[in-house]
């Protein structure tokens, strides 16, 4: 199974944040130019990586779409193997009212939801409960609402489950929230630039003191 565990991503981000925080804090407290230079260089590198990713994602939208489809389908295969991954996919599908990468048929990739005759799973020809259209009258989540739903005619699917794929849903979400996304990106960029400025200023002050000049 080639699904990715969300905990691994959280741990990786945590390690990077801890390393940068440690270098910046200890470097400032101990006036250590080496640590401050590392902190500043790392923030500059992250800033340009973010900028490069944003530009490349805009220029190569089809490539990004294909990679996201492969990523999503890979994680569909591992849906029942990791509870964190399962919760992540369920949250994504419920929040965007979507099902699968391009539609409910993508759940055939999962051994439990596969419609083939070789499958003896109770979830055969079904979809996860996060694909189901919520019933306002139900106060308790029906986790079995997706059972056998794909044995019905496709024309009836939209009565009980979301038929739009999550890739289309995300593509529609971005234009509607472009100002929010741009605002977040600008805010993060300004914080990074401010951190770089403070680090460089402190380095200059420390070097001036060591050189015997007062500031």
pLDDT at 197: 93
Read off the pLDDT of residues 132-188 as tens digits, 9 standing for 90 and up.
998 888 888 888 899 989 998 888 898 899 999 998 898 888 888 889 988 998 999
CB 121 within 8 A of CB 147: no
pLDDT tier for residue 213 given thresholds of 50, 70 and 90: low
pLDDT at 136: 83
Mean pLDDT, range 195-207, rounded to an integer: 91
Predicted TM-score of the model (pTM): 0.69
pLDDT tier for residue 40 given thresholds of 50, 70 and 90: very high
Alpha helix (H) residue ranges in the chain:
6-29, 33-59, 61-77, 83-96, 166-176, 178-210
């Amino acid at each position: 199974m080639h699904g990715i565990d969300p905990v691994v991503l959280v741990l990786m981000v945590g390690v990077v944040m801890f390393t940068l925080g440690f270098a910046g804090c200890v470097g400032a407290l101990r006036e250590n130019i080496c640590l401050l230079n590392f902190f500043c260089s790392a923030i500059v590198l992250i800033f340009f990586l973010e900028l490069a990713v944003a530009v490349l994602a805009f220029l190569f939208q089809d490539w990004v779409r294909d990679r996201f489809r492969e990523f999503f389908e890979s994680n569909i295969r591992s849906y029942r193997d990791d509870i964190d991954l399962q919760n992540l996919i369920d949250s994504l599908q419920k929040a965007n009212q979507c099902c699968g990468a391009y539609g409910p048929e993508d759940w055939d990739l999962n051994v439990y939801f596969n419609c083939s005759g070789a499958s003896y799973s109770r979830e055969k020809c079904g979809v996860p409960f996060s694909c189901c259209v919520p019933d306002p009258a139900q106060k308790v989540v029906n986790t079995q609402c997706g059972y056998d739903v794909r044995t019905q005619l496709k024309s009836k699917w939209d009565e009980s489950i979301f038929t739009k794929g999550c890739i289309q849903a995300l593509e529609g979400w971005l234009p509607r929230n472009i100002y929010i996304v741009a605002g977040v990106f600008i805010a993060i960029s300004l914080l990074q630039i401010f951190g770089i400025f403070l680090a460089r200023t402190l380095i200059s002050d420390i070097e001036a003191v060591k050189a015997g000049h007062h500031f």
